Structure 1
């Protein structure tokens, strides 16, 4: 398998190792485990209905925002609580409770990824090779964007200033409908930010996968060394 094909397979495997507990948190574990998910869902529903029927209140928007933030935080806590129960063996073996709340799911995903690699027969040496593939499969980092050049920045600033003056002379702007240009600019800004964020997210995920491969290679090597040590002691005792 080529480098690019191997890297595509590893990325796909990492995506499939996302802890899938959303549906299970509503249906598995009994009432003791599923009640937070149902209560939070009901609370969000009541909040939305209340906002819809009382949208004229000046404080309703602020209350809805505060309620939504609290509900989001509650959902994160409920998800973490359910993950700690659903994957309790992994949490106990890897001592994930000693890590920060926001890192536990990331570390849990790493453990699932490492276990998936082991199930497919990868050893420490082969995983180390995969880590090397993760380094060279992506494009090299770009040191500096052309748009960051001082001359380009000055030219773009001049174009923006002149464009603003031209827009202010249009019939649409004079008629008091300049919001059209503002909305158009806001839409373009949102699209550009979404694209750049997607690119940065993909690059960050690739670096995370590379780091996970390095961890997995070290973990498996240490586990194999720990298993070989008692066997060596037994063999020495037998020969003596």
Structure 2
């Protein structure tokens, strides 16, 4: 066994010079280049599609009803005082589903006026984009406050157009987002009032009874949950949110 090991070592050392003199193998990967502009355009389309897909979460937040809905639902959870009930995952799921309900008419119009004609080769990419942009801008303008849109144009040092179709999308989107936050906070404030009233009544009763060591939330939270269930709060809330976009 010892001699076999020595023999293997000698053979290995003898093979080193041969390996050093050997021509190294070369690996070459040749990709055929585009032979004309017609081959470049599909690649650019794929790149554009991947870019849009990567920006899908930002588009969902900034150009749909998602922001207002999730703000209102978060306010309701805070007003009830139930900490993490319903869980954040449930709030997000409900927000996404209600966003689909609100945005369904807009998506239908985009499909009818932009996507279907483009798939049928009746219009090109530019015309499809303009048709989709017109539909989305109409929805955004309907939910955007005039003051917020004016603020965006003032900060960008750009003259505000007179016609709605001339409004720049890159200025309309932040104005829409600010308006959605304001509307969501207004609705959240109105939802907070009855629950704050319950907290005050419970605290006043406990103080009058001399039960100052009892946390008011121990009694007010079950009462708020009971009130919310009795008035069918989730149905009223979802209906109010959806109707606020009409």
> So what's the TM-score if we normalise by structure 2?
0.24
Structure in which a larger fraction of residues adopt helix: 1
Larger Rg: 2
Structure having greater relative contact order (Cα 8 Å, sep ≥ 6): 1
> So what's the TM-score if we normalise by structure 1?
0.24
